[in-house]
Amino acid sequence: MDQILGQVLRNAVWERLDMLSDLANRADAPSLVSVARSELPRLTEGWRAMLRAHEPDERGDCPTCSTRWHRCKAPCSVWQVAHEHLVAGGLAPQQELRRRGRRHRASVPAQATRSAARDPMPQGRAAQGRHALRHLPATP
């Protein structure tokens, strides 16, 4: 049941983001102003809430991304993506950071971020609707 509820929630979020993208690309100027006034505060508060959950603790670790066996040093990938999209505008060079012998991407392309954020398709049920394609493996 949790898997189905999770899929419903994820699909609702993807649908909302798709709708906002469509509006940004197709709406006339007065409609864009109206949408911006209503949606920008909601989107910024959503970013703030997500980033608060990823604030480093007193050891400099991200408490949300860290596990009992693996500590994730700040800035975690959530902060890196936030910087890329909100500050650098997606124009920041793709640089790699080395930490403890492991490579981490300093910035993650938007499509890779969307793919990584999604869970696999629920077992025993095929994904339905226009978001069903998001569950197909990416072709090289």
- Are 33 and 68 members of one domain? no
- Per-residue model confidence as pLDDT tens digits over 13-68: 999 999 999 999 999 999 999 999 999 999 999 999 999 999 999 999 999 999 99
Residues 125, 132: Cα–Cα separation, whole Å: 11
- Are 2 and 32 members of one domain? yes
Is 125 a domain residue?
Answer: no
- Per-residue model confidence as pLDDT tens digits over 60-105: 999 999 999 999 999 999 999 999 999 987 554 554 443 333 334 4
Looking at the chain, which runs of residues are DSSP E strands? 96-99, 102-105
Question: Would you state the pLDDT for residue 13?
Answer: 96
Question: Would you state the pLDDT for residue 75?
Answer: 95
List of residues 6+ apart from 63 with CB closer than 8 A: 53, 54, 55, 56, 57
Residues 68, 50: Cα–Cα separation, whole Å: 21
Question: In the chain, how many domains are there?
Answer: 2
CA quadruple 77, 79, 85, 91: dihedral sign: negative
Is 34 a domain residue?
Answer: yes
pTM here is: 0.59
- Are 2 and 41 members of one domain? yes
Of 117, 120, 113, the closest CA to residue 137 belongs to: 120
- Is the peptide bond preceding residue 122 cis, with omega within 30 degrees of 0? no
Is 126 a domain residue?
Answer: no
pLDDT higher at 137 or 18: 18
Question: Would you state the pLDDT for residue 89?
Answer: 79
Question: Would you state the pLDDT for residue 1?
Answer: 74
Domain range spanning residue 69? 54-119
In the chain, % of residues over pLDDT 90: 59
- Per-residue model confidence as pLDDT tens digits over 108-121: 444 444 444 444 33
Question: Would you state the pLDDT for residue 91?
Answer: 59
Cβ(1)–Cβ(122) below 8 Å: no
pLDDT higher at 140 or 15: 15
